[in-house]
Amino acid sequence: MNFVFRNKRISGLLAIVPEHERTFLEDMKNFNFSESRSIKLKEMMGYDRHRIVQEGVCVSDLGVFGLEYLFNKGLLNRDDFDALILVTQSPDHFMPPTSNIIQGRLGLKQDLLCLDINQGCAGFLIGLAEAFLLLEQESVRKVVVINADVMSRKTSTQDRNSYPLIGDAASIALLERDSRDSVIYANLKMDGTRNEALMIPAGGFRMPSTIQTAALEDVGDNNLRAKDHLRMDGSAVFNFVQVEVPPMIEALLTFAGTSMEAVDYFICHQPNRFMLQKLADKMKLPYDKMPMNVVERFGNSSGVTIPMTIAINFSKQLVETGLQVCLAGFGVGLTWSAMLMRLHAFRFCELVDFPDRASV
């Protein structure tokens, strides 16, 4: 489904990562995997380190920390935004919405629309789209979109297909109207028939958590996982990305009346380097037009890998020249989305550590 958003922009990005770091090789030692195999895998998939929250840390902790950082630095005023969107798959509770919890903990005004969106690796773009729609309202001057996940807490430490790759992180994007004559093009697609490709089977109302669902089961290849844990059909997800994402991007560029050459960077969600390289090959893109350096340093932190890529790589370029970018996310749902926009200098664009001592 195509969308067009006029005179809107992202005006700030903050990425927040837990201070606690683990290395891929350190984790792989737990899996009866020879060191030489681990090293080969590390090189191919681009896994080096990942950031994991300490026990007890929740999404609201990362969100509150990030917003307080912006308030304290004078980069954002607490009354300046009229909507707070939180995109997460790992809420603090089933109810209330975690966005309300963040509002309450920070003592934000009551005239604030708080909204949780349950989305994963495509979630950053879904959150942006929702925010751009809200900005059509006169009463909404600015929108904060928090994208955060602490999926390590729902991943079996004995599942080597998931745990060594997962990263916890959050991002805060500030969105507002743009005085320039800017146009943002977006395409969002969903396919619920493939909803089981990425799933936490137990813990909801369909299959409540019990002692049985918490029990680790042998799921093959010496991996142990419970029904309470994240389950990923890696092969199906890999295939889905390769089949669906290139034509979506191509169709978006056609819809926008532009070409691949006119795009400075294709900033995709980063599950692993191998998948991105195959995606770039398919799209006939040189690898340097598709940044891949987030997953190796921080792990796969769902949709947050996209804002993190911008914060780490492009803050200087945004000030100097601005960038034409195509963002693309793909994952749970299944959901896949792309957005074409021009990024200009932000009010803030940085990455900060969430200190271990801030753990609750």
Partner 1 sequence: MKRVTEILKGIRPEFDFTTSQDFIRDGMLDSFDMVMLVSSLDRAYSISIEGVEIIPENFKNLQTIEALLRKHGVQQ
The residues of the shown chain that bind partner 1, judged by CB under 8 A, are 37, 40-41, 44-45, 160-161, 220-221, 234-235, 238-239, 241-243, 274-275, 278-279, 281-282
Task: Between 282 and 342, name the residue whose CB sits nearer to partner 1.
Answer: 282
Task: Between 93 and 278, name the residue whose CB sits nearer to partner 1.
Answer: 278
Kind of pairing, strands 183-190 and 335-343?
antiparallel
The amino acid present at 215, given as its one-letter code, is A
Please, is 168 exposed, middle or buried when counting C-beta atoms within 10 Å of its C-beta (0-12, 13-18, 19+)?
buried
Q: How far apart are CA 171 and CA 337, in angstroms?
A: 18
Task: Between 75 and 236, name the residue whose CB sits nearer to partner 1.
Answer: 236
C-beta of 68: minimal distance to partner 1 in Å?
A: 40
C-beta of 161: minimal distance to partner 1 in Å?
A: 7
Task: Between 67 and 275, name the residue whose CB sits nearer to partner 1.
Answer: 275
C-beta of 120: minimal distance to partner 1 in Å?
A: 20
Task: Between 3 and 33, name the residue whose CB sits nearer to partner 1.
Answer: 33
Task: Between 71 and 238, name the residue whose CB sits nearer to partner 1.
Answer: 238
Specify whether the CB–CB gap between 65 and 358 falls below 8 A.
yes
Task: Between 29 and 40, name the residue whose CB sits nearer to partner 1.
Answer: 40
C-beta of 11: minimal distance to partner 1 in Å?
A: 35
Q: How far apart are CA 285 and CA 245, in angstroms?
A: 13
DSSP labels, 196-213: GGEE--SSSSSS---HHH
Specify whether the CB–CB gap between 350 and 311 falls below 8 A.
yes
Please, is 282 exposed, middle or buried when counting C-beta atoms within 10 Å of its C-beta (0-12, 13-18, 19+)?
middle
Task: Between 113 and 260, name the residue whose CB sits nearer to partner 1.
Answer: 260
Angle, in degrees to the nearest 10, between helices 273-282 and 234-256: 40
C-beta of 251: minimal distance to partner 1 in Å?
A: 17
Task: Between 50 and 160, name the residue whose CB sits nearer to partner 1.
Answer: 160
C-beta of 243: minimal distance to partner 1 in Å?
A: 6
Task: Between 217 and 353, name the residue whose CB sits nearer to partner 1.
Answer: 217
Q: How far apart are CA 241 and CA 283, in angstroms?
A: 12
C-beta of 36: minimal distance to partner 1 in Å?
A: 10
C-beta of 45: minimal distance to partner 1 in Å?
A: 7
C-beta of 242: minimal distance to partner 1 in Å?
A: 3
C-beta of 314: minimal distance to partner 1 in Å?
A: 26
Angle, in degrees to the nearest 10, between helices 305-313 and 123-134: 80
Collapsing DSSP states into helix, strand and coil, what is residue 27?
A: helix
- Contact partners, residue 142, CB within 8 Å, separation at least 6: 11, 80, 81, 82, 174, 175, 176
The residue among 18, 73, 6, 42 whose CA lies nearest residue 348 is: 73
Q: How far apart are CA 233 and CA 21, in angstroms?
A: 26
Sequence-ordered alpha helix ranges (H) in 149-290: 211-214, 234-256, 273-282
